[in-house]
Structure 1
Amino acid sequence: MPNARDLQPLQVPPGTGALEVLPALRRALDGDGPALLPVAADSPEEAQRLISALAGPLAPGEDAEHDPTALVIATSGSTGAAKGVLLPAGALRASAEATHRRLGGPGEWLLAMPAHHVAGVQVLVRALLAGTTPRAVDTSSGFRPDAFAVAARDVLRSGGRHYTALVPTQLSRLLQEGGEGLAALRRFDAVLLGGAATPPALLSRARDSGVPVTTTYGMSETAGGCVYDGVPLDVAKVDVEGELGPIRLAGPMLAQGYRHQPDADAFAGGWFRTGDLGRITDGRLEVLGRADDMIITGGEKVAPLPVERVLTEQPGVQEACVLGVPDPEWGQAVVAAVVASQGAPPDVNALRGAVRARLGAVATPKRIALLDELPLRGPGKPDRRALAERLTS
């Protein structure tokens, strides 16, 4: 481009205040304004860290006149270091339009998660492209089912189709609370569920309760979810290297690359290497977790996600996170953190027995810690680093 465009911070308020960014977001999508770096207005120290690392003029190769960079989404990935994902307007549009085609057409959207993350900002993008006015849940006191019910009432009052997007923790709270929040959730035409792996038991419970859940898989680098219920959107391509191997994604929804990293290997050859492991069964993608989360214990490989699925299927378990911690005998020991559902806490020995019966002794956690809640990072992802420190301290 003739002159370098600036990447400018966009302070995104939480909850209903997020709707204030719609005019700036519209200009970015149309290419009439600067590229935007969404940061959380209620986390000033973290926002300043990201601004210092990522804001400023876009370098050659980070922008294009025919398809200008609209957003740079900050993501720490699994390393903790700030990375900026360069999302052209075309990628955001391709993702949003493909989502509408998959769900049955444009509609009204309810924002229930932070809009400085890609899942939240895409709710706003979809509404803008649909020509509808999004609403947002009041999260001034955290995510509450009663506040969701109030916001949903405004959305559902209008005609047409109605959509929202949640992370598993939010869905779990709505199911536990029941009442008006759950009743409102049932009335949506689709509830996108992503941000973290969804326990099969939670998914079954939601669908048995009449909630039209669609699981999504994607990340900032793919402008949000691009695989719905295991099937790629019509613009997306999925490749798994080998029978069980790294997942690669391609299509017009891909980011241009990373800020300040012009030769990032992850984007080589028009494919994005996700760092996740998976397999394709009967035409559907099954994600087995991060390759760098794989646990090596006694020379054997253990993927955390299948263990988490067994644990969350057991009575009394609401959430689970499995990880490896240093062990002098095994190299790494499989350990688990479990959040109990309402009622009596689960029996730890019974949980270990269930894993042993399904997955064998090597995958059985050496220790299971019962926690009130899992530490989270981003939109609903367990903070494995914080958990490892807690479980080894």
Structure 2
Amino acid sequence: MSISLLLEMAVSGNPDRTAVVSDDIRLTAGQLSALADGGAGVITASGAAHVAYVGTGGALLPLLLFASARAAVPFTPLNYRLSADGLRELIGRLAEPLVIADAEYAEVVAGAGKQVISSEEFLASAGRSEPVSEFVDPDAVAVVLFTSGTTSRPKAVELTHNNLTSYITGTVEFDSAAPEDAALICVPPYHIAGVGAAMSNLYAGRKMVYLPTFDANRWVELARSEGVTTATVVPTMLDRIVTALEASGSTLTTLRNLAYGGSKVALPLVRRALQLLPDVGFVNAYGLTETSSTIAVLGPEDHRAALATDDASVARRLGSVGKVVPGIEVQIRADDGTVLGPGETGELFVRGEQVSGRYTDIGSVLDAEGWFPTKDVAMLDQDGYLFIGGRSDDTIIRGGENIAPAEIEDVLVEHPAVRDVAVVGPEDPQWGQIIVAVVVPAEGASPDPDALREHVRQQLRGSRTPDRVVFRDELPTNATGKVLRRQLVDELQPISKESA
């Protein structure tokens, strides 16, 4: 099944339904389909073997996604925040790409790839070009996304049409949205959540309202003016939206569901959001690029039950990512490959039709039975709730003992003087690595480092006590809210060496 069939089904259901709202652009499902056909004609005429997009998204993302599918060539949205050299390096790894760029990035990528045209030019050409709709092999690559590459060279993840459509049809009911439903999308186009949102909302029959550049007050304004009923945000966005709502006293009368994900969200922030928006159903979605987006979900009822209960085991679920979605299998494995039981911590492996596990120039990393190694530390409880403990690469080895940063972070973030925290392990000549807690103080607070260390010591083993506590106004994160731990380690490394 080609992803273009998702658009065809949306058109067959209701061609006159508003499908996309992006600044001054408003497109019905039928108009989006016609532009995708014309866009496929532009792509085919260029002779390109790949389509790359550099820009902030909006209407261009679903248009290019489906136009590329109908032209039977892969599509890659690129991180427009990268340097010129970084963008050119990634473009150079794509086969004869047609590069489409928003006006502010056109000069940055001028001369790259097979051809460069502006987003405005592509949009205009799509409206007058001879339509094309090619048959595509479901096992052909539909989308290539580059991993963040914060600690190594970015990998090019290949997602087939079958991977992506398996995810959509397995998790979304076709034409299930009410006529008034609208989704506010502000995740970046080069992230799997952005690609997934374009397909899932269209398939459900939900109007997509794009906010290409996130601003909390603008987000609230759009949510009200467009009657937004559902939205997806990353942790930093959720924090700023909650702060903006608290400051303004605004309400979101139409909002029914708010999904968050992309990285771990501090529990105090989740509780704060739940209390501020008691009528909103919160969803914690966990997934990876290699799994075509979401593989586990903690739904609204689980959120409410965890917030209201006195049962510690139920309350603990608020820190989980919920249960796996239909069509996905999971295993927790020890270092020697042994499959672990409930309550035991190891590496998360996943399997299913939506799981790719394939990289350009590397090939598939699935094992002989089709399992993908996520590199995430995880645990399943007795009731099947999945808990993610961070990346295995982030594990701190201090004096030969393996220490998971998340364990310490979960304790520190509950301190009333702490707003956010990241625990990292700079190198140390004596211990191999030391534990450094990078703390963002709560507003108006001036926490004492020794008091925070004692707070950890009282709840965890002494070996988990941070060797040092440092303070920052904010943590460095990428566009999806993931903390840039390598950057923190690099900043702290000289301190560690000087302390030797």
Instruction: Give TM-score, length-normalised by structure 1.
Output: 0.86
Indicate how the Cα distance of structure 1 residues 316 and 232 shifts in structure 2: closer, same or farther if over 3 A, else same: same
Counterpart pick for 1:51 among 70, 73, 91: 91
2:92 alignment partner AA: S
Q: 1:38-77, aligned counterparts within 5 Å?
A: 38-41=77-80, 43=82, 45=84, 46-56=86-96, 65-76=137-148
For 1:306 and 1:244, the matched residues in 2 are separated by 12
Instruction: Decide which moves more: 361-370 or 248-257.
Output: 248-257
Residue number in structure 2 paired with 1:169: 236
Q: Does 1:203 align with 2:243?
A: no
Counterpart pick for 1:227 among 292, 296, 304: 296
Contact persistence 1:149–1:180 (CA under 8 A): no
Deviation at 1:277? 1.1
Residue number in structure 1 paired with 2:156: 84
Contact persistence 1:5–1:35 (CA under 8 A): no
Q: Does 1:212 align with 2:281?
A: yes
Contact persistence 2:49–2:73 (CA under 8 A): yes
1:132 alignment partner AA: R
For 1:47 and 1:283, the matched residues in 2 are separated by 41
Structure showing greater radius of gyration is 2
Runs of 4 or more consecutive aligned structure 1 residues displaced over 6 Å after TM superposition: none
> What is the percent sequence identity of the aligned residues?
31
2:484 alignment partner AA: D
Instruction: Give TM-score, length-normalised by structure 2.
Output: 0.69
Deviation at 1:254? 1.1
1:387 is paired with a residue of what secondary structure? helix
Residue number in structure 2 paired with 1:18: 58
Q: 1:150-165, aligned counterparts within 5 Å?
A: 150-156=221-227, 162-165=229-232
Deviation at 1:41? 3.9
Residue number in structure 2 paired with 1:61: none
Q: CA RMSD in A?
A: 2.6
Contact persistence 2:147–2:157 (CA under 8 A): yes
2:443 alignment partner AA: Q
Deviation at 1:185? 5.3
Q: In the TM superposition, what whole-angstrom CA distance separates every residue of 1:217-237 from its partner, at most 9, and x where no partner exists?
A: 111001112111220111211
Instruction: Give 5+ residue unaligned stretches, structure 2.
Output: 1-46, 98-135, 299-321, 334-339, 495-500
Deviation at 1:209? 1.9
Indicate how the Cα distance of structure 1 residues 331 and 186 shifts in structure 2: closer, same or farther if over 3 A, else same: farther
Contact persistence 1:375–1:382 (CA under 8 A): yes
1:148 is paired with a residue of what secondary structure? helix
1:47 alignment partner AA: L
Instruction: Decide which moves more: 174-183 or 203-212.
Output: 174-183
Q: 1:291-330, aligned counterparts within 5 Å?
A: 291-330=392-431
Counterpart pick for 1:363 among 456, 459, 464: 464
Residue number in structure 2 paired with 1:113: 187
Deviation at 1:355? 1.1
Paired residue total: 371
Q: Does 1:284 align with 2:327?
A: no
For 2:257 and 2:248, the matched residues in 1 are separated by 15
2:187 alignment partner AA: M
2:420 is paired with a residue of what secondary structure? strand
1:224 alignment partner AA: S
Q: 1:325-364, aligned counterparts within 5 Å?
A: 325-364=426-465
Q: Does 1:95 align with 2:167?
A: yes
Q: In the TM superposition, what whole-angstrom CA distance separates every residue of 1:161-182 from its partner, at most 9, and x where no partner exists?
A: x321111111111112225988
Structure 1 or 2: larger strand share?
1
For 1:112 and 1:247, the matched residues in 2 are separated by 28
Deviation at 1:385? 0.8
For 2:330 and 2:359, the matched residues in 1 are separated by 21
Q: In the TM superposition, what whole-angstrom CA distance separates every residue of 1:192-239 from its partner, at most 9, and x where no partner exists?
A: 211111112222222122243211211100111211122011121111
Q: Does 1:191 align with 2:263?
A: no
Deviation at 1:267? 5.5
Q: Does 1:36 align with 2:75?
A: yes
For 1:315 and 1:223, the matched residues in 2 are separated by 37
Counterpart pick for 2:216 among 138, 145, 158: 145
Contact persistence 1:266–1:272 (CA under 8 A): yes
1:291 alignment partner AA: S
Indicate how the Cα distance of structure 1 residues 266 and 378 shifts in structure 2: closer, same or farther if over 3 A, else same: farther
For 1:378 and 1:221, the matched residues in 2 are separated by 18
For 1:239 and 1:314, the matched residues in 2 are separated by 33
Q: In the TM superposition, what whole-angstrom CA distance separates every residue of 1:54-107 from its partner, at most 9, and x where no partner exists?
A: 4448xxxxxx823332110110456421111111122222323444359x8585
For 1:268 and 1:8, the matched residues in 2 are separated by 32
1:73 is paired with a residue of what secondary structure? strand
Deviation at 1:334? 0.6
Indicate how the Cα distance of structure 1 residues 42 and 201 shifts in structure 2: closer, same or farther if over 3 A, else same: closer
Indicate how the Cα distance of structure 1 residues 186 and 275 shifts in structure 2: closer, same or farther if over 3 A, else same: farther
Residue number in structure 2 paired with 1:237: 329
Deviation at 1:148? 0.3
Q: Does 1:27 align with 2:67?
A: yes
For 2:82 and 2:376, the matched residues in 1 are separated by 29
Indicate how the Cα distance of structure 1 residues 43 and 331 shifts in structure 2: closer, same or farther if over 3 A, else same: closer
Instruction: Decide which moves more: 177-186 or 368-377.
Output: 177-186
Deviation at 1:131? 3.5
Contact persistence 1:145–1:181 (CA under 8 A): no
1:234 alignment partner AA: P
Deviation at 1:340? 1.9
Contact persistence 2:150–2:484 (CA under 8 A): no
Deviation at 1:308? 0.9
Deviation at 1:40? 3.2
For 2:249 and 2:160, the matched residues in 1 are separated by 36
For 1:73 and 1:138, the matched residues in 2 are separated by 18
Q: In the TM superposition, what whole-angstrom CA distance separates every residue of 1:306-357 from its partner, at most 9, and x where no partner exists?
A: 1111111111322111111111221110111111232123232222112111
1:284 alignment partner AA: Y
